Structure 1
Amino acid sequence: MSTSSTVLGFGVLMFFAGIGIPIMAALNGGLGARLASPAAASLILFCLAATISAIVLTFTGWPQKPFAGIPPQYFTGGLFVAFYALSITWAGPRIGVGNAVMLVLLGQLAAAAAIDHFGLLGAVRSPITVQRALGIAAMVVGVFLARKV
């Protein structure tokens, strides 16, 4: 597979993952509202996600590398996923899924720019250039124009 087709494939994958984020927010927010418990809705979400991940691992195989020796911070991603799921499940029905997701997008833009610029958490370093800063600024303006909070 060529590099351009690999990039295109990952681009399509992430586009559909992006489509799933507001759908998940709306569905989980609705479940949390119907249960009167965002925490219960998030628990259901994570149980389903854990089950699906276990099924995928069954078919793809467990990691061959030992868990020991991996720096502890690499195991904390679940904290951010839990925070996201709980907060979007709670806030989405109150401020609107679109507003909630757009504000999440602003946070993602800021964090992604900082992580890439400084090469944080083992990420490939990609300094912020003037062109990149203008692109991020345009996205921020677009987020505000798309949603009125």
Structure 2
Amino acid sequence: MKGIIFAFLAGAFITLQGVANARISQNIGSWQAATITQLTGFIAAILIVVIVKDQKWKQFKNVPPIYLTGGSFAAVVIYGNIYGIHSIGVTLTIAVILISQLAITFLIDGKGWFGVLKKEMQVPQFIGIAMMIAGVVILKF
């Protein structure tokens, strides 16, 4: 149940962050907004680590270096979110982001990339993503 709650919160905060970033970018620019967001996110994460006294971060040297670059993807996520919201609106941007996330997860699960358990995608999963794409087409018109 905790997983569902935190996943729901993550989705809500992604949307709220996108809207806030779009507003910030109107004053200072998109990449500047991404920088501010990354910085404040870093500060918030450090504060949480200090408050909960979690010492696991010291094990970062055991993480393969390629995975340590994952945070850099956030800059592109933030910029894409900002540009999308300015260009096509909040609803359509989030819908397209969700479809993109599902498409990539299909590849990751189907191919077993990044050490995840390989899962065979079946007809219901493809019908689900097709329905989401149809929903975006309906939203657009």
Q: Cα 1:86–1:64, aligned 2, differ >3 Å: closer, same or farther?
A: closer
Match of 1:28 among 13, 18, 21: 21
Q: Which moved more, 1:44-53 or 1:89-98?
A: 89-98
Alignment of 1:1-149 (within 5 A): 8-35=1-28, 37-58=29-50, 59-63=52-56, 66-145=59-138, 147-148=139-140
- Structure 1: which 5+ runs fail to align? 1-7
For the aligned residue pairs, the C-alpha RMSD in angstroms reads 1.9
**CA offset digits 1:11-70 (Å, max 9, x no partner):** 1211121112221111110110122x1111111111110011101111242326633343
- Structure 2: which 5+ runs fail to align? none
Of all paired residues, the percent bearing the same amino acid is 26
What TM-score does the superposition give when structure 1 sets the normalisation length?
Answer: 0.83
Report how many residues are paired. Answer: 140
Measure the CA separation in 1 of the matches of 2:14 and 2:60: 29
Measure the CA separation in 1 of the matches of 2:58 and 2:41: 23
Measure the CA separation in 2 of the matches of 1:48 and 1:67: 21
Q: Verify the 8 A CA contact 2:92 2:136 in the aligned structure 1.
A: no
Measure the CA separation in 2 of the matches of 1:66 and 1:124: 24
SS where residue 35 of structure 2 aligns? helix
Counterpart code for 1:14: A
Q: Verify the 8 A CA contact 1:30 1:93 in the aligned structure 2.
A: no
Measure the CA separation in 1 of the matches of 2:42 and 2:4: 25
SS where residue 67 of structure 1 aligns? helix
Q: Cα 1:25–1:64, aligned 2, differ >3 Å: closer, same or farther?
A: closer
